[in-house]
């Protein structure tokens, strides 16, 4: 690899298909050896309420693809940092114990503060 540019992804809308796409993108970059972090902003925090699911899970499973919960588990196993917006958690009345394991609460400012000058930032 030429360098170790990181990929930082913000999921800004509470839609399961956006999180699914963000996870796929992040996992592809992680497979290439790049560090990846994903931040669920605002109401998107609800997508990581345990147990994780979305309306497209049945179609994904029928096509031989993992459901959203499995994809989240795989991303965490690949050491992708998954962060949930503290303000979004407060808005939704979520506690850390309501979320899937290994997800960390963070603020948008602290997430962005760790984006390096050569890193990429994508918003879904």
Digit-coded pLDDT (tens) for 79-109: 999 999 999 999 999 999 999 999 999 999 9
Left (φ > 0), alpha (ψ -120 to 50) or beta: where does 42 sit? left
85, burial (CB in 10 Å: exposed 0-12, middle 13-18, buried 19+) = buried
φ/ψ (deg, to 5) at 120: -105, 145
The beta-strand segments (E) located in 1-124 are: 7-11, 36-40, 81-85, 104-106, 120-123
What token pair was written down for 52? 């994780």
For the segment(s) 7-123, the CATH number from 3.40.630.10, 3.40.50.720, 3.40.1260.10, 3.40.190.10 is 3.40.1260.10
Indicate the domain borders of the chain: 7-123
Digit-coded pLDDT (tens) for 1-35: 446 799 999 999 999 999 999 999 999 999 999 99
pTM over 0.85: yes
């Amino acid at each position: 690899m030429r360098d170790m540019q990181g990929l930082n992804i913000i999921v800004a809308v509470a839609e399961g298909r956006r999180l699914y796409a963000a996870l796929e993108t992040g996992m592809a970059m992680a497979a290439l050896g790049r560090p990846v972090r994903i931040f669920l902003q605002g109401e998107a925090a609800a997508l990581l309420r345990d147990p994780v699911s979305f309306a497209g899970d049945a179609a994904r499973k029928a096509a031989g693809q993992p459901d959203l919960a499995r994809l989240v588990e795989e991303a965490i196993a690949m050491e992708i940092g998954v962060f949930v917006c503290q303000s979004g958690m407060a808005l939704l009345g979520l506690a850390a114990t309501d979320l899937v394991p290994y997800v960390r609460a963070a603020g948008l400012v602290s997430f962005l503060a760790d984006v390096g000058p050569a890193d990429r930032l994508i918003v879904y």
